Amino acid sequence: MADEVVNFKVTIDGIPVEVAPGTTILNAARQIGGDIVPPAMCYYSKLEGSGGKCRTCLVKVSKGSEKDPRPMPKLVASCRTTVMDGMEVQNITSPEVEEARKGVVEILLINHPLDCPICDQAGECKLQDLGYEHGSEGTRYEFERRTFERVDLGDKIQLHMNRCILCYRCVYVANQLTEKREHGILYRGDHSEITTHIEKALDHDFIGNVIDVCPVGALTDKTFRFKNRVWFTKPVDAHRDCPTCSGKVTLWYKGEEVLRVTGRKDEFGEVEDFICNTCRFDTKNTSDWVLEHPTDVEKESVIGANHYEKFHLPAVIKEDEKLKLANAEQLQRTERLK
C-alpha cells in the first residue's frame, strides 16, 4: 500500500495554505489567489523549465520551516523555490520585497521603450501593469538604449526586439511544441537578443503560440497589427472541431468582424490549451466557430470597458424612486388608453 502523501502547511502574508511537497511558493500563492500572488513575467506553468529569469516574483522567506526556522538570508524567486513544512513567506507585507520589485521593474524598463500608445500589446501587457503598480517615476540609467529594426519572422509574426525582456517563453514554446526550433537567444549579457538562425522564418503549425506567451509587445500578430485597440474589441469564447489542436479559442470581435483569434487564458494570463496556426490565422469567420459565451474579463482590466454581460438592478431602491417608477408606469398606461 502506497504511503499517504502529507501536505505541507505554509503561511503567505499571514494566510495559511496546505500544498503538496514540491510545490513552489508562487503556485502555493496562486492557490490562495488575490493580491498576494507575486507577479511573474517569465514563469509559465505550461512550459517546462520556465521561470527564474525576470526576478519579478521575489519574496521574503521569514521562516524556513518548522525544523529550521531561520529566515533565508536573501530574497528568493518564488517560481523556483519549493515550500517546506511550516514555511512563512512575505510578499506584499514586506517593504523589502516592494523596494526590490521596484528595482527589478526599473531594470526591465531600461531598454523597453514606453511606446504603449502605438504598441498592440497595450491593454493586455503584463509589463504595463507591473510598471504601473511597482515602477518608479524616473530612471537612473544614463546610457543610450539598445535599438533594433523590426524583423518579420514569416508572414504572420513580427519581432520587435526593442520591447523584448528576454523572458525565454517563446524559446520554450518552440522547443516543446515544434519538432525543430528556428530561433533562440544570440550573444550574452546586455547584448543578448532573440533572433532566428540566418534569417529563417518561423513556419511550424504551432509556432503562433509565441505570440500568446510573449508578456510584452515583442512578438505580435501581423494579421492584427494596428487594426484596433484591444479595449474596443469584445472577446468571446468559441470552439471548432479541429484535427490538430483542441480548437478552444477566444475570438476578438469588432462589431460582427473577427479581428483576431487567440488561445484561451486563465486568471494568471496563461494559455489553457495551445492552438494551431490554422485556428489562429485562417479561420476568422463566425461561421467557422461554435460560439459559447462572452469571455470573463477582470473588472480592473481595460478590456472590460464596454464589456457588459449582465445588467443587475440595484437590490434596494429608495421609496421616492419607487414612487417615480409607479407614476411613470401609470402615465404610460393612461397614454395607451387614449
Which residues 6+ apart lie within 8 Å of 299 measured at CB?
none
Looking at 97-111, 130-144, 225-239, which range is the least confident one?
130-144
CB atoms under 10 Å from CB of 254, counted, come to 14
Which class does domain 8-108 fall in? alpha beta
pLDDT at res. 329: 65
pLDDT at res. 320: 54
Average pLDDT, the chain: 86
pLDDT at res. 303: 82
The arithmetic mean of pLDDT across residues 273-283, rounded, is 93
The arithmetic mean of pLDDT across residues 75-89, rounded, is 95
Q: Name the pLDDT band for 70 (thresholds 50, 70, 90).
A: very high
Which residues 6+ apart lie within 8 Å of 119 measured at CB?
125, 163, 217
The structural domains of the chain, with segments of one domain joined by +, span: 8-108, 111-226, 227-338
The arithmetic mean of pLDDT across residues 10-20, rounded, is 94
| Tens of pLDDT, residues 170-210 | 999 999 998 888 888 888 888 888 888 656 678 889 999 99
The arithmetic mean of pLDDT across residues 311-332, rounded, is 55
pLDDT at res. 306: 63
Q: Name the pLDDT band for 23 (thresholds 50, 70, 90).
A: very high
What b/e readout covers 87-99, taking b as 16+ CB neighbours within 10 angstroms?
bbbbbbebeebee
How many residues appear in the chain?
Answer: 338
Joined together, the cell numbers standing for residue 11 give: 503561511
Q: Is 217:270 a contact under the CB 8 Å cutoff?
A: no
Q: Name the pLDDT band for 3 (thresholds 50, 70, 90).
A: low
pLDDT at res. 327: 66
Residue in the block written with cell 520587435: 160
Stronger pLDDT, 78 or 298, i.e. the higher one: 78
The arithmetic mean of pLDDT across residues 130-158, rounded, is 85
pLDDT of 59 over the 90 cut: yes
Note the pTM of the prediction, 2 decimals.
Answer: 0.80
Looking at 3.40.640.10, 3.40.50.1820, 3.40.1370.10, 3.30.70.20, the CATH number of the domain 111-226 comes to 3.30.70.20
The arithmetic mean of pLDDT across residues 2-27, rounded, is 89
